[in-house]
Amino acid sequence: MPIYKMLQEINLKNFPEKISVPKATGEKLQVYYYGPKSYDNQLALITHYLHNKELTKELSRQQAIKFLREYIEYKFPKIKIADNILHDPLQAGLFGDFFHIPFPDPINYRFTFVDLFAGMGGFRLAMREQGGKCVFSSEWNSFAQKTYMANFGEMPFGDITKEETKQYIPNNFDVLCAGFPCQPFSIAGVSKKNSLGRETGFKDKTQGTLFFEVADIINRHRPKAFYLENVKNLISHNKGNTFKVITDTLEELEYSIYYQVMDGKAFVPQHRERIMIVGFDNRLYHGHENFTFPELGEPTLKIRDILDDDTDPKYTLTNKLWEYLQTYADKHKAKGNGFGYGLVDLNGISRTLSARYYKDGSEILIPQGDKSNPRRLTPRECARLMGYPDNYIIDSVSDLQAYRQCGNSVVVPLITAVSEQLVNAMLMENL
């Protein structure tokens, strides 16, 4: 039985509903576990501890050892558990599956980072490429957590807005990475919410304030640098006032700020513009860091370069759906609107892949000749379109969830190129 399922079966009645966590001031803060998801919290603690024993906070270490004991007692009730097994269960042949993964942390790492709003792990792949070791990850979506764990052997913690989640962030780390949720700032998101009479940006009560959670963590831990990513529309939202609030907040925290809108088409056959925001601690670098964004070239890959030779017929549009999309496009074309499906040029690049791709695939359709309806991209092809390597595990979740995760992800090679410049500047290797 998979460890994840076993942890669900552990009797949780003896786990504390709350614990007291001492703060630096000597005060005590009550930390509450969040009920039915407790086993996920345990798995996050266990996997973070196993991967980062020497970097884990004492609170996290103590709780992880407690959860390990609970698990081992459940699994092996007749075995006496020695302390050395709890402190190094790998030596006892336990939990090896967490390390038999496609993308382990580098052994001789150059720096540490945290991965917030981690999604399917695009930032982690990029930072890993620069020799970075992830010491904390957070992602609230359970399906994205599953994909992340399949590839990195680590269950991300859940809701980063909760104090009990923030308490597990290590005191010291070098870089904070966050592709914080972009729906309140995206062109599509703003249009949809305006039509519903809802507020957008920082006035959005569910997602718009998440930037301030990032700012709070930066303020508490003061990493040497941070790397944030969001939609292009962030700059112009609310006549530029939203972005001014963001930059003013980061500068008030005494960080120098660099930002640039960059298009992933230089690396993948997809037009995907996003804003990159990089910052360095002025208390440490005094504004003398030597950082520049990388120069981007023209597209080199074509859509046909990421396609499989053979695909399952299930990805071909049904006659009913194909007729609907054509009728819908004709109707809006007659009104002078640009809405419609995107039948791609196989020798060109695609539109931007969105999280709604699972619905009908209309923004990126692959032609299959006159005798067949076009088809959607497969989840593997979507992953390639975002720059994920083929050994990345994409099928640990359903196609629907894989489409959503890819549409919400970052273009990995673009993030990698910016990360290289950031890390070199942070480590003063380009001075």
Which tens digit of pLDDT belongs to each residue from 356-412?
Answer: 999 999 999 999 998 999 999 999 999 999 999 999 999 999 999 999 999 999 999
The phi and psi torsions of 157 (rounded to 5 degrees) equal -65, 170
Q: How confident is the model at residue 35 (pLDDT cuts 50, 70, 90)?
A: very low
Taking the alpha carbons of 47, 51, 53, 57 in that order, is the dihedral positive or negative? Answer: negative
Q: What is the pLDDT of residue 198?
A: 53
* DSSP-derived 3-state class of residue 428: coil
Q: To which CATH superfamily is domain 303-408 assigned?
A: DNA Methylase, subunit A, domain 2 (3.90.120.10)
Angle at 50 between CA 138 and CA 223, to 5 degrees: 45
Q: What percent of the chain has pLDDT over 90?
A: 61
Mean of the pLDDT values across residues 129-149?
Answer: 96
Query: Which value, in Å, is the radius of gyration of the alpha carbons in the chain?
Result: 23
- 177 catalytic, yes or no? no
Consecutive H or E run containing 175 = strand 175-178
Catalytic residue among 134, 177, 182, 382: 182
* DSSP-derived 3-state class of residue 182: coil
pLDDT at 226 over 80: yes
pLDDT at 73 over 50: yes
Q: What is the pLDDT of residue 183?
A: 54
Helix 142-152, helix 399-408: angle, nearest 10? 80
Helix 38-51, helix 142-152: angle, nearest 10? 20
Q: How confident is the model at residue 77 (pLDDT cuts 50, 70, 90)?
A: confident
Q: What is the pLDDT of residue 230?
A: 93
Consecutive H or E run containing 383 = helix 379-385
Would you kindly state where each structural domain of the chain is located, as residue ranges?
1-100, 303-408
Q: What is the pLDDT of residue 338?
A: 62
Cα–Cα distance list, 422 to 202, 258, 268, 410, 416 (Å): 28, 10, 21, 17, 10
pLDDT at 417 over 50: yes
Cα–Cα distance list, 90 to 41, 66, 87, 128 (Å): 21, 16, 9, 23
Answer for the pair 352, 270: CB distance below 8 angstroms, yes or no.
yes
Query: b vs e for 279-298, b when ≥16 Cβ sit within 10 Å of the residue's Cβ?
Result: bbbbeebeeebebeebeeee
